């Protein structure tokens, strides 16, 4: 049973009952101790953001994960949606460490509208973070880029 190579098969079996959920997701995330330890990292060299979908289905999140780091890529809008869905599905929000350093929010010449849309998505995500236990927020060109927004909501410099 543990020889399933396909993640979709693993999820299907895990949804059958609580015991199979525990066995299959522990296997999928290598060991339940590694998954349910103090710290999990997504993005960059950590787990892919798509793993959050499976983690939402996992019944064995006890003890709770106490700290999570999210290292966003250029696909950050899609990744932020995964994070939002995951955070909305859990009762205990871990300490969050957010890393946008691989992105540049610097204005691009002649592309102000697109940049504004990206910054508004970033602003919405930061509004969500301001209500949670966000411990760190790392960005590359944060302060100069937020000047494009009329009313920045989340500003760690204050």
Rounded average pLDDT per 10-residue block, the chain, 158 residues: 62 76 68 55 82 76 75 86 88 86 68 66 81 80 52 47
The whole-number pLDDT of residue 29 equals 63
The whole-number pLDDT of residue 55 equals 79
The whole-number pLDDT of residue 71 equals 92
- DSSP letter string, the chain: -TT---HHHHHHHHTT-HHHHHHHHHHHTS-HHHHSSSEEEESTTSB-TTHHHHHHH-S---SPP-EEEEE--TTHHHHHHHHHHHHHH-SSPPEEEEE-TTS--SPPTT-HHHHHHHHHHHHHHHHHHHTTTEEEEE-SSHHHHHTTSSS----TT-
The whole-number pLDDT of residue 1 equals 53
């Amino acid at each position: 049973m543990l020889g399933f190579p396909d993640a979709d098969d693993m999820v299907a079996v895990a949804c059958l009952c609580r015991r199979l959920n525990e066995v299959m997701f522990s296997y999928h995330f290598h060991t339940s101790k590694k998954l349910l330890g103090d710290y999990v990292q997504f993005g960059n060299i950590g787990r892919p953001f798509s793993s959050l979908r499976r983690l939402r289905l996992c019944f064995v999140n006890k003890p709770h994960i106490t700290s999570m780091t999210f290292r966003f890529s250029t696909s950050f809008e899609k990744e932020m949606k995964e994070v939002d869905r995951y955070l909305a599905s859990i009762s205990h929000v871990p300490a969050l460490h957010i890393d946008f350093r691989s992105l540049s929010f610097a204005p691009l010449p002649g592309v102000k509208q697109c940049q504004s849309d990206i910054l508004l998505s970033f602003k919405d995500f930061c509004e969500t973070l301001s209500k949670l236990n966000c411990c760190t927020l790392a960005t590359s060109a944060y302060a100069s880029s937020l000047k494009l927004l009329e009313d920045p909501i989340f500003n760690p410099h204050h």
